Structure 1
Amino acid sequence: MSNPIPARERLALAADLPLDQGLSLYSRVAEHVAFAKVGLSLFVEHGPAAVSAFQKLGARVFLDLKLHDIPNTVELAAARAGALGVALLTVHAAGGEAMLKAAVRGAREGARTQGHAPPRVLAVTVLTSLSAEDVAAVGFSGTPEGAAQRLARLAIDAGVDGLVCSPREAEGLRRLLGSSPFLCTPGIRPAGAEKGDQARAETPAFAVRAGADLLVVGRPVHAAADPVAAARAIAEEVSSA
């Protein structure tokens, strides 16, 4: 029987804060959280320096840029990301097959040039902030789960390493695609926590039982009165699930 993945390796801190605050917070919760998610706000303000700052603290960096452009542009950006030594990189599945293939190609080549392990390229299916009404308004037919499954199949067939999806879609994607794709679920909210702008949020235990490999937590930790206790409680819930 294989050993279960430690809870710490299944948690990412969404560092959507000013850089100094994000670094301070990560250093406090690092015992419970292995990944630091560098998103658009940090990367637009600080660029690669934001990545290296978290790496110096020992974090595995999840570079959440959600690339979505013509294939050549995405390939160039993914190559630059791969060269930074990030562990995870996101792109939008809706960019299509050629763009997804270009992202994978670029990320691997960029990592190779600097001697890094290639990042996992994760395709974002349907943003967790979108409700069923929002999904219909942007032109997807059917339910959010149906749209996520169609985009997931497209992305996996194009060669990406994994997917970003709502916890509510994870179980269906596992049934559809099996155990091999790496599933990352944002929109994690402990029981009783404010959902904020997350329309399809679920608890850590729900996400793990649905088949998620990595859970992204942000406001439930950095808005907590005691962030370390909050991170510990989430890690314990992941372990027990």
Structure 2
Amino acid sequence: MQRPLIIALDLDDVAKRRALLDQFNGESLFVKVGMELFYREGRQVIHELKESGHQIFLDLKLHDIPNTVQRTMRELASLDIDIVNVHAAGGKKMMSAARDGLEQGTKAGGKRPILIAVTQLTSTDEETMQSELLINQQLNEVVRTYASFAQESGVDGVVCSAKEVPLIQDSCGTSFYTVCPGIRRKEDVVGDQKRVVTPEEARELGSWGIVVGRSITTAEHPLKVYQEMKQDWEG
């Protein structure tokens, strides 16, 4: 799979989503379907996007007991999605169960979805992690350790800030997927993100994939911004 720029379809109704995608003139895209969109439109949005030729990162961040996660992943695998994720904080048994569920739900002869685990949200900084999540370690060490646990559990990669990619690659190797949200152009508003980089910086840091939302979806000319950011990302 080519190193993707994934567009986060974080829009609040069907008409806006379809209007946005119409501006791409039928181009095959890699898109992220998050909780808001999936809970509103359900399986239908996955079928519609697949029929239009798009690849899908289903971003539901599962975090529950191992049995529940396993059974849920078995159902999600039947949707023919390309990437799906869990929270690494759920632990090794949960992550391993997620992998088992995907394998069970993938059709014979089909390709299992890539499984990635969230290390720490890019809206979380070290102060929040320690004072509110009560994790009394440095942020980089937590991310590195969670990534190592994910790899040991059979997970294919992680969601992380691009700033953390080098330390993850040191521990897990360069073939371990690193999908990086918190991507902005220098002129963009940061919003609720804390650990932010540009597409060019993410490429230089070695990220495998990047996720871009509001920089594209709220732009006056989304296709133009997408093309500019894609060029920066691909070099």
TM-score (ref. length: structure 2)? 0.94
Other-structure match for 2:4: 10
Is the partner of 1:112 in helix, strand or coil? coil
Decide whether the 8 Å contact of 1:12 with 1:37 is kept in 2: yes
| 2:153 matches 1:158 | yes
Q: How many residues align?
A: 233
CA distance in 2 between partners of 1:151 and 1:201 (Å): 20
Indicate how the Cα distance of structure 1 residues 128 and 51 shifts in structure 2: closer, same or farther if over 3 A, else same.
same
Compute the displacement of 1:216 (Å).
0.3
Is the partner of 1:25 in helix, strand or coil? helix
CA distance in 1 between partners of 2:135 and 2:207 (Å): 24
Is the partner of 1:128 in helix, strand or coil? coil
134-143 or 85-94, larger mean C-alpha shift: 134-143
Other-structure match for 1:236: 231
Indicate how the Cα distance of structure 1 residues 142 and 29 shifts in structure 2: closer, same or farther if over 3 A, else same.
farther
Other-structure match for 1:183: 178
Alignment identity in percent? 33
Compute the displacement of 1:20 (Å).
3.0
Out of 181, 188, 197, the position equivalent to 1:193 is 188
Decide whether the 8 Å contact of 1:26 with 1:36 is kept in 2: no
Decide whether the 8 Å contact of 2:92 with 2:153 is kept in 1: yes
Other-structure match for 1:97: 92
Indicate how the Cα distance of structure 1 residues 237 and 31 shifts in structure 2: closer, same or farther if over 3 A, else same.
farther
Out of 195, 199, 207, the position equivalent to 1:212 is 207
What stretches of structure 1 of length at least 5 have no aligned partner?
Answer: none
| 2:78 matches 1:122 | no
CA offsets, 1:87-109, max 9 Å, x none?
00010001011100110110121
- Aligned residue type for 1:171: P
CA offsets, 1:152-209, max 9 Å, x none?
1111100001110011111211122111111100010011211111011110111111
| 2:36 matches 1:21 | no
TM-score (ref. length: structure 1)? 0.92
Other-structure match for 2:46: 51
CA distance in 1 between partners of 2:126 and 2:39 (Å): 30
Out of 130, 135, 145, the position equivalent to 1:140 is 135
Compute the displacement of 1:31 (Å).
7.1
Indicate how the Cα distance of structure 1 residues 225 and 173 shifts in structure 2: closer, same or farther if over 3 A, else same.
same
CA offsets, 1:110-153, max 9 Å, x none?
1126x531100000000000011111120222222111111111
Decide whether the 8 Å contact of 2:28 with 2:53 is kept in 1: no
